[in-house]
Amino acid sequence: MRALEDLRERLGVVADLDAAAAVLGWDQETYMPPGAIEARAAQLTTLARLSHETFTDEKIGRLLDAAATELDADSFGSDDPAFDSDDASLVRVATRDWERATKIPADLVARLAHAASMGQQAWQRARQASDFSAFEDHLRTILELTRDKAEALGYDDRIYDPLLAEFEPGISTGEIELLFATLRQELVPIVEALTDGAADKGEIPGRLDGSPDKAERPDRVDGSEHDDDSDRAGASGSTAPPQIAPPPLDRVFDAAAQWDFGVAVIEDFGFDFEHGRQDRSAHPFTTAFSAADVRLTTRIHEDFLPAGLFGTLHECGHGLYEQGFAPELARTPLADGASLGVHESQSRLWEILVGRSRPFWAHYFPRLRDSFPESLDDIDTDAFYRAINTVRPSLIRVEADEVTYNFHIMVRFELENALLEGRVAVGDLPAAWNDAMERYLGIVPDSDADGVLQDIHWSMGAIGYFPTYTLGNLMSAQIFARLRQDIPDLDEQIAAGRFDELLAWLRHNIHRHGRKFTAPELLERIGCGPLSAEPWLEHIRGKYGELSGKSL
Ligand code: ZN
């Protein structure tokens, strides 16, 4: 096993370089003084270059071949028990990464990085001015380079496939189109029933006391570094809360008390503060320097409770995953989430399936009211539960409720494919955006800032990323349905503030495997079957049927 040992050592160096870069990246978003930005950018560029050079070295390619021969790994089918071993998984996943990384010419990597850096700056300015034309040329360049990248990686069917594979290996564009078609067909009547058709006029429907209920959802943008995005990133450079919050969520909630409440909950969830910490940042994210050092960040708005509350629970879900990788995977490419979709399934499971459920608030609402007696004195658990689960079509993805959220993703997925396949020209994108919003959500933005310019992703060259948000939602429900079979009294446990069995189940079935399996392989192994929208739709029908008193 000499090749395998040598391979492990070299991959360990790459992992160390990436972890060092992650420390610098975390510091940049939390404590670094603003004047240090140029020096920090140079340091990060150097580390990224060293990591890339070390990983794409010919020697690694030869060691991967030799290690595969040592293990006889080529003979493993995915149903062979040997397929699951740490060694075979390491060779399989590292080979996939290496082939991908070496297919893209260094020159194209550099041009993409440059275009992304320029693109983000231009996007911020364009968004501030709500002027798409100021971003248009940058997007055209990014799109051309992204097409070149897809061609370099190669594909059989759809140009989107190799781009998607960076974030969600094992799932094709065609599969997502089918899933989304089902989801849309089922969701449209549900949303109509919940909003009485009133929402598309921008009014708050009386029935559910509606309005965007939403924490500014923190999202991961850079999968490999776990640097999450961004949500309202660059929104006039501000971190202003959404304009409309359903009462009582818009009352004043003391920042320190919010922080303490969030920390108390995630300690109950099982986040290990001996091996992690939480700090503040403008845009919440989770990063890890190893499974023994996981960093969460959150932000607090005193006049919008959900941002800090659900943002903290969301990031904790990512953090629990990172803390749960098996120690044997340390310093290898396997010490990471299976995919962005699976990572998001963990954050959404804790944030929504646990954190926005009735049993959860049966336990925690009295404690929340004790923390904020002036703001919640006249509110009971039921009223609070309704407020945090308000459904209403809205313009901004990160403010969307869990029911309409996936429509925002469908809009972006459809447009990304149309752009890449030349069916929509970049110059026509704002009009195409508004048209898609009208078709999916029945509302049209007044400005590009609230429309096509709202997300940072395209400006960073992250094309193929968006569908992983919806995949995460769907997977979270599939996983939750499966674990309920093993933990029949889960609701009672949650209502008692007990999460140890839940976390142990996730650790055993998902977390410890890290990146050994793709999402479809993982779902299959834990008995969820193939990726499906049905468990999520069940969840929505059950929860919102009960809330609205309607049969959905
Ligand atoms: Zn997330």
User: Measuring CA to CA, how many Å separate 154 from each of 100, 114, 374, 446?
Assistant: 10, 23, 60, 39
**pLDDT digit string, tens, across residues 431-449:** 999 999 999 999 999 999 9
**Residues linked to residue 212 through DSSP beta bridges, in sequence order:** none
**pLDDT score of 242 more than 50:** no
DSSP structure string for 274-339: TSEEEEE-SS--EEEEETTEEEEEE---TT-HHHHHHHHHHHHHHHHHHHTS-GGGTTSTTSS-S-
Q: How far is the CA of 5 from the centre of ligand 1 (A)?
A: 34
Q: Are 343 and 324 in contact (CB under 8 A)?
A: no
Q: How far is the CA of 473 from the centre of ligand 1 (A)?
A: 10
Please give the pLDDT value at position 228. Answer: 39
Please give the pLDDT value at position 250. Answer: 87
H/E stretch holding 52:
helix 37-56
H/E stretch holding 63:
helix 58-71
Indicate whether this model's pTM tops 0.85: yes
Q: How far is the CA of 284 from the centre of ligand 1 (A)?
A: 9
Q: How confident is the model at residue 78 (pLDDT cuts 50, 70, 90)?
A: confident
Report the alpha-carbon distance of residue 287 to residue 271 in Å, rounded. 14
Give the number of other Cβ atoms within 10 Å of residue 167's Cβ.
Answer: 22
Report the alpha-carbon distance of residue 292 to residue 77 in Å, rounded. 33
Q: Look at residues 121, 162, 163, 164 and name the one whose alpha carbon lies nearest to residue 139.
A: 121
Q: Are 222 and 48 in contact (CB under 8 A)?
A: no
Catalytic residue numbers read 315
Tokens 């954050």 found at:
347
**pLDDT digit string, tens, across residues 7-20:** 999 999 999 999 99
Which percentage of the chain shows pLDDT scores above 90? 84
247 three-class SS: coil
Average pLDDT over residues 361-384: 96
Q: How far is the CA of 346 from the centre of ligand 1 (A)?
A: 8
Give the number of other Cβ atoms within 10 Å of residue 232's Cβ.
Answer: 25
Q: How far is the CA of 75 from the centre of ligand 1 (A)?
A: 36
User: Measuring CA to CA, how many Å separate 37 from each of 31, 44, 230, 425?
Assistant: 12, 10, 18, 35
Domains of the chain: 2-154 (no CATH), 173-248+338-344+351-548 (1.10.1370.30)
Average pLDDT over residues 404-408: 97
**pLDDT digit string, tens, across residues 476-520:** 999 999 999 999 999 999 999 999 999 999 999 999 999 999 999
Q: How far is the CA of 154 from the centre of ligand 1 (A)?
A: 29
Report the alpha-carbon distance of residue 470 to residue 180 in Å, rounded. 9
Q: How confident is the model at residue 245 (pLDDT cuts 50, 70, 90)?
A: confident
Please give the pLDDT value at position 539. Answer: 98
Q: Are 396 and 537 in contact (CB under 8 A)?
A: no
Token pair listed for 3: 């090749």
DSSP H helical ranges for 168-304: 173-195, 255-269
Give the number of other Cβ atoms within 10 Å of residue 31's Cβ.
Answer: 11
Q: Which of 145-154, 219-228, 341-350, 525-534 has the lowest mean pLDDT?
A: 219-228
Token pair listed for 439: 């078709």
Strands 276-280 and 220-222: unpaired
Please give the pLDDT value at position 220. Answer: 53
